[in-house]
Structure 1
């Protein structure tokens, strides 16, 4: 499904030129950075692009999780490609030197879209990626992935996508699980800070994330052990009924690992997505992160073909 930009083609060209975007008169493909007001349209478009038959791709939850940095920061990190007024590809800068992206359904093998995207990510002057070592994550089945290779981009870090079908009920989690609500996020954010060893995810940043449009279909879950201690947390992102949902992120407090809590919170995440109508639960982790892969597999997630980045050396 292609989504038409709400501004329409004529105003889109003017807006793109004002934003310093690249306009190709022959093919009418433009790359640009959306305004904060345009982000709900991008999130909704990504939602409609999620399909059970497709491999893991950029998901509304990827943008939703980054909303903890605020709406303006998310807008600055998003890149959109349009052709004749239709949104054909979306990218998200997961850091200054890594772009995660996907292409509209029906255009995964479109050579024109692929070559424009690769030209834009390869030229620092286009405002997508800087000079030096950078990486692009695109579904391996897309023409974008192939054209990057033809342009000399190397195969980068391997990732393991995993999927759990949600047609059948999910086993009980084995933890006491509660949905995190506004005003009650302190223990959830504390678990997150302990898991990743940084103090950036504060209650204020949780509220910023919860205020984003993607969170309307999301839940944060906090897992407690039999003593009531908060031991694990996970955020799940639904893309709507009949579409795959995303787990991003999941973690177990380092003081409570090795007790099956990873499996338990993964089961809770799958159950929450099933309740939301998701067709499957998706997650992706570095292939080298064997403990995480093992935790997901123990909760019924099945590994899919390894996902590879494309990287350009410095």
Structure 2
């Protein structure tokens, strides 16, 4: 049968998330993770369903994409379908033609895993390389160092602090208490934790959300932020260590994260927390 592209709807999101969970592997490149869908769930179930695309053949999901904004598709492919020509050609056509319902006319970015044939096809079709990103990974086989500060797991009573630190960490953040509750009410959050770090005075200074893909699979940090008024005091390293420890407790084999290479401070923070820098990756983009 031919490749079929689908918007799975709210009821079908579980199948897309299950596929993403199954594809996470320590030997695979850092790629779209169930936690990326879980973090997007802060906008609600309907918005998340509208942002997800799946490509399937004979009822089996072979690729999953998340429209992380109107012009950015973050996608990954089943490990045994990375060089599947029929799949790659269908995805390349779908992202290149506005009538296919993935992108409208205008600038578009596609993130695909290293080694995927679709990347080659996009280059052949004139898509350009965008700015580099740095993936980082920390193995969790051994114990994680103590972060040296008070760390709390976020429940409903700590949501105002968690959302306030989020907004103070990212200039354009729109995160609110309601969005935390929407995210935490989604099914993906069953395998997640939000953490908040506190300084010696008891003030909330940093936060992170960690997402497990199940025991023995790499977990994701998304997002991690330090309050703008409390930077350069070691809080970034502390919350990074706390995130790694939480994922280890949840059975994750490794912790992964990806950040723009231009954000040298973030890269340094993750490295200070025991993460190892991996080769840079780049999206592909077209202007129209």
Unaligned runs of 5+ in 1: 1-26
Does 2:189 correspond to 1:215?
yes
Q: Among 104, 122, 126, which residue is 2:78 paired with? A: 104
Q: Where does residue 277 of structure 1 map in the other structure? A: 251
Query: How far apart, in 1, do the equivalents of 2:171 and 2:277 lie?
Result: 27
Secondary structure of 1:184's aligned partner: helix
Trace 1:7-156 onto structure 2 (pairs within 5 A): 27-156=1-130
TM-score normalised to structure 2 length: 0.98
Q: Where does residue 275 of structure 2 map in the other structure? A: 301
Q: CA deviation at 1:199?
A: 6.0
Q: CA deviation at 1:41?
A: 1.9
Q: Where does residue 289 of structure 1 map in the other structure? A: 263
Query: How far apart, in 2, do the equivalents of 1:99 and 1:157 lie?
Result: 15
Q: CA deviation at 1:32?
A: 1.3
Unaligned runs of 5+ in 2: none
Secondary structure of 1:293's aligned partner: helix
Q: Among 141, 166, 170, which residue is 2:144 paired with? A: 170
Q: Among 240, 263, 286, which residue is 2:237 paired with? A: 263
Query: How far apart, in 1, do the equivalents of 2:85 and 2:261 lie?
Result: 30
Does 2:155 correspond to 1:181?
yes
Q: Where does residue 14 of structure 1 map in the other structure? A: none
Q: CA deviation at 1:184?
A: 2.6
Secondary structure of 1:115's aligned partner: helix
Q: Where does residue 3 of structure 1 map in the other structure? A: none
Query: How far apart, in 2, do the equivalents of 1:271 and 1:146 lie?
Result: 38
Aligned residue pairs total: 288
- What stretches of structure 1 move > 6 A for 4+ residues in a row? none
- CA-based RMSD: 1.0
Q: Where does residue 229 of structure 1 map in the other structure? A: 203
Q: CA deviation at 1:263?
A: 0.5
Q: CA deviation at 1:110?
A: 1.2
Query: How far apart, in 1, do the equivalents of 2:203 and 2:215 lie?
Result: 33
Query: How far apart, in 2, do the equivalents of 1:139 and 1:57 lie?
Result: 6
Q: CA deviation at 1:252?
A: 0.4
* Worse-matched range after superposition: 108-117 or 197-206: 197-206
